[in-house]
Amino acid sequence: MRIYTRTGDDGSTGRLYGGRIAKTDPVMDTGGDVDEVVALLGVARAEQAGEPELAEVILRLQRELFVLGADIAANPDRRHKLDPGVSLVTEEMVTGLEELIDDLVAARPLKPVFVVPGATAQGAALDHARAVARRAERHALAAREAGGQVSDAVGRYLNRLSDLLFVLARHAAGETEEPTTR
């Protein structure tokens, strides 16, 4: 098996369930951002410092982002083939992020200050992932405005994901005193 196919040499890429799309299409910008978030979460997971629960949450998010990637990569004419929670983002996935945010904030309330990222390596990686998740959300909304098939659930998921990544970064810092903007 070869890793290269040469089919993308014309500037297009294959869609889930057939068809092709330009690599420069706004939907593909979103897909690239999501791929970057998955990789950054891998860095954060590799920095895991003795908290297996946090590593499990990060792995869950990586897997859910594969669902989101499939959702946006699907051929718009064949979206009926998408499987909820497997290749289609669901409202339950969004609610799951909200519940996790609420639980984490209840366990470690946030300070009412702007935090400068970088107190810990894992926290910095999570903050980096958060910034890219926000970019993914902007690109998803731009793709929808340009006529791309981006569901409301995808937009909500990306919005909640960036909130969760902020909370996870603070959680990863633990008792380390994070510098503030003042």
pLDDT digit string (tens) for 10-65?
999 999 999 999 999 999 999 999 999 999 999 999 987 667 899 999 999 999 99
Q: Does residue 118 form part of some domain?
A: yes
What is the CATH number for 122?
1.20.1200.10
- If one counts the domains in the chain, the total is 1
**Average pLDDT value for the chain:** 93
Q: Does residue 9 form part of some domain?
A: no
Does the pLDDT value for residue 67 go beyond 90?
yes
Q: Domain span at residue 71? A: 20-173
Task: Give the pLDDT confidence score for residue 49 in this predicted structure.
Answer: 67
Q: How far apart are CA 45 and CA 40, in angstroms?
A: 9
Q: Does residue 12 form part of some domain?
A: no
Does the pLDDT value for residue 180 go beyond 80?
no
Q: Does residue 30 form part of some domain?
A: yes
Q: Does residue 82 form part of some domain?
A: yes
Q: Does residue 91 form part of some domain?
A: yes
Higher pLDDT, 118 or 72: 72
Q: Does residue 41 form part of some domain?
A: yes
**Are 154 and 89 in contact, with CB atoms under 8 Å apart?**
yes
pLDDT > 70 fraction of the chain, expressed in percent and rounded:
95
Instruction: Grade residue 117 by pLDDT with cuts at 50, 70 and 90.
Output: confident
Instruction: Give the mean pLDDT of 104-130.
Output: 89
* Contacts of range 171-177, beta carbons closer than 8 Å, 24 or more positions apart: 171/54, 171/104, 171/107, 171/108, 172/44, 172/49, 172/51, 172/54, 172/120, 172/122, 172/123, 172/126, 173/119, 173/120, 173/123, 174/120, 176/119, 176/120, 176/123, 177/119
Task: Give the pLDDT confidence score for residue 173 in this predicted structure.
Answer: 78
The mean-pLDDT minimum among 27-36, 117-126, 145-154 falls in 117-126
pTM of the predicted structure, to 2 decimals: 0.92
Task: Give the pLDDT confidence score for residue 178 in this predicted structure.
Answer: 65
Does the pLDDT value for residue 75 go beyond 90?
yes
Neighbours of 109 (CB within 10 A): 9
Task: Give the pLDDT confidence score for residue 1 in this predicted structure.
Answer: 85
Higher pLDDT, 58 or 173: 58
Q: Does residue 2 form part of some domain?
A: no
